[in-house]
Structure 1
Amino acid sequence: MSHAVSLLRAARLANSTQYFSAHGGFKSERCQGCRLAPTHCMCALRTPVDTRAAVCLLMADIEPLKPTNTGWLIADLVADTFAFCWSRTTPDPALLALLSDPTWDCYVVFPGEYAAPERVVHAVQPPATGPGGVPKRPLFILLDGTWSEARKMFGRSPYLNHMPVLSLVPGEASQYKLRRSRCSQHFCTSEVAARCLYLAGDAAAEEALQAYLGVFTHHYLQAKNQLPVAWDGEAHQRLREAVTRPA
């Protein structure tokens, strides 16, 4: 199944003049559907969930190529996921068209201390009315990259400057284990998306996405350490419960 992130990855590879090799992890062949070793493939676990909100991933240059990228997980589950490579000078016209579409209520998700105070919100606002009197749907714009890349994207994207900045209140520490972070309050992209879905009233989708990240992490680390998948383990049980629970 192709989705926004897999299509962006394919386009990025087609335009690349250099071979991309991921650092660390395992060096064997990877499944094109989940980026895991075929022996640890989790494509059969992909279960799309219904959401009121949508997600727009603005991705740093090589982020779609990284096997540990978790924006891919969002696109696996949330049908209305859009993905674009970030450019300071030539933003994708399709991105600009999406952000100007009056059916969406757009939020840039970023720490509030980096934005003007009058732009910062901590909750999703009651939906405004769009065309035809239909309530607008939340569209969360996530800056997907390293922390330094995300700060650059936030500061050098003038087409985002008129939008409210959704600043998430720190909670428990990140559960992401596949990349190092200097700060326990730095969350991976799918964790940020899950929190946004919760704030938009998509609590079942939030739980499913968190559980899906847990399964991806388990499969990735088991493959890296040449260990079998624990199909009856806690991570898979949590996902089964999350995707079968009524919305």
Structure 2
Amino acid sequence: MTPVPPAPHALPHAVSLLRAARLARSSKPFLARGGPRGERCAGCRLIPSHCLCALRPAVAVRAGVCLVMADIEPLKPSNTGWLIADVVADTFAFGWARTGVDPALLALLADPQWQPYLVFPGEFVAQERVVTALLPAEALGGAPARRPLFVLLDATWPEARKMFRKSPYLDKLPVLSLQSEQLSRYRLRRSQRDAHFCTSEVGALCLELAGDTQAAQTLEAYLDVFTNHYLRAKQQLPVDAGDAAHLRLQALASL
């Protein structure tokens, strides 16, 4: 597949840079399963006729997101961690490996401006580590209160469980167990359990918990529009820019 340069406003972010680094290490081209074999936009990973770059929202967000990504996750056109990086300016992305950890990830987790939370289902964690709400904000020596940093394991569910067990540098982090009755609306890659959200949905729930309500709603709407573009490209159908998903994203962008 031939990448098309992104639109000027769709500058590379942490996930796109991680994707580029992962591609540079590949010994053969990565071919997305079931995807079109033509050109793809480097800014949104969609084919040019269904490009999403012009709809990339800009919204103020206080929280940050740290994506720890399974090996080929940044390469998948259906990956939604990319959407979080589009919306949340302070998104960081690191590849996961069983045998080592990026020193930059350790430095981020130790940065005093952040209060990191490892987001994972509480049923699989020792209960003394589990929190269901953000910890009280505490100023450090007169400095501003620490900002929440949500650490998401961006992987399939079996991969995420493995990453959780084999990442000792995450063991000291509080585990944020999200409580939501919302069923997943993600239609690109389905979990066997409806309660398992895609990465972007988890990110939106975290932003809502942190009080970044507009950003949470914008990320939800952006996921719906991305899904629409992705599936219509796959089905060789034109995009309907006037449908409910697009109108909702436009309304949120105008706030």
For the residue of structure 1 that corresponds to 2:94, the secondary structure is strand
Structure-2 residue corresponding to 1:196: 206
Q: Would you say 1:226 and 2:201 are equivalent positions?
A: no
User: Match of 2:214, as an amino acid?
Assistant: A
Unaligned stretches of 5+ residues in structure 2:
1-10
Query: What is the deviation of 1:48?
Result: 2.2
1:27 Cα deviation (Å)? 2.6
Over 6 Å off, 4+ runs: none
Task: Determine the structure 1 residue equivalent to 2:220.
Answer: 210
Match 2:43 to one of 33, 37, 56: 33
Give the structure 2 partner of residue 156 of structure 1.
166
1:127 is displaced (CA, Å) by: 1.1
How far, CA to CA, are the matches of 2:49 and 2:99 in structure 1? 42
Aligned residue identity for 2:101: P
- 1:89 alignment counterpart: 99
Q: Percent identity?
A: 63
The AA in structure 2 aligned to 1:235 is A
Partner of 1:178: 188
- Equivalent position amino acid for 2:230 in 1: Y
Deviation at 1:63, TM superposition (A): 0.2
One-letter amino acid matched to 2:226: F
Alignment CA distance shift 1:36-1:164 (3 Å):
same
| 1:120 corresponding residue in structure 2 | 130
**What's the CA shift string for 1:157-181, capped at 9, x where partnerless?**
1111011000011312101000121
Does residue 241 in structure 1 map to residue 234 in structure 2? Answer: no
- TM (norm. structure 1) is 0.97
TM-score norm. by structure 2 comes to 0.94
Q: 1:131 to 1:176 in 2, by over 3 A?
A: farther
Q: Deviations over 1:24-67 (max 9, x none)?
A: 13332111110001000010011221111000000000000000
Counterpart CA distance in 2 for 1:234 and 1:107 is 34
SS, match of residue 69 in structure 1: coil
C-alpha offsets along residues 65-94 of structure 1, whole Å, 9 cap, x if unaligned?
A: 000000000001110000000112210010
Q: 1:141-152, aligned counterparts within 5 Å? A: 141-152=151-162
- Taking only aligned residues, the RMSD between alpha carbons, in angstroms, comes to 1.0
Q: Distance in 1 between matches of 2:222 and 2:231?
A: 14
Q: Retained in 2: the 8 A contact 1:103–1:131?
A: no
How far 1:18 sits from its partner (Å)?
2.4
Please state how far the C-alpha of 1:187 moved relative to its aligned partner: 0.4
Partner of 2:21: 11
For structure 1, the 5+ residue unaligned runs are none
d(CA) in 1 for partners of 2:159 and 2:184?
19
**Which residue of the partner structure matches residue 102 of structure 1?**
112
SS at match of 1:127: coil
Partner SS for 1:133: coil
In structure 1, what is the equivalent of residue 79 of structure 2? 69
Q: What is the rounded CA distance, in whole Å, between the counterparts of 1:57 and 1:132 in structure 2? A: 30
1:60 has 2:60 as partner? no
Which secondary structure does the structure 1 equivalent of 2:93 belong to? strand
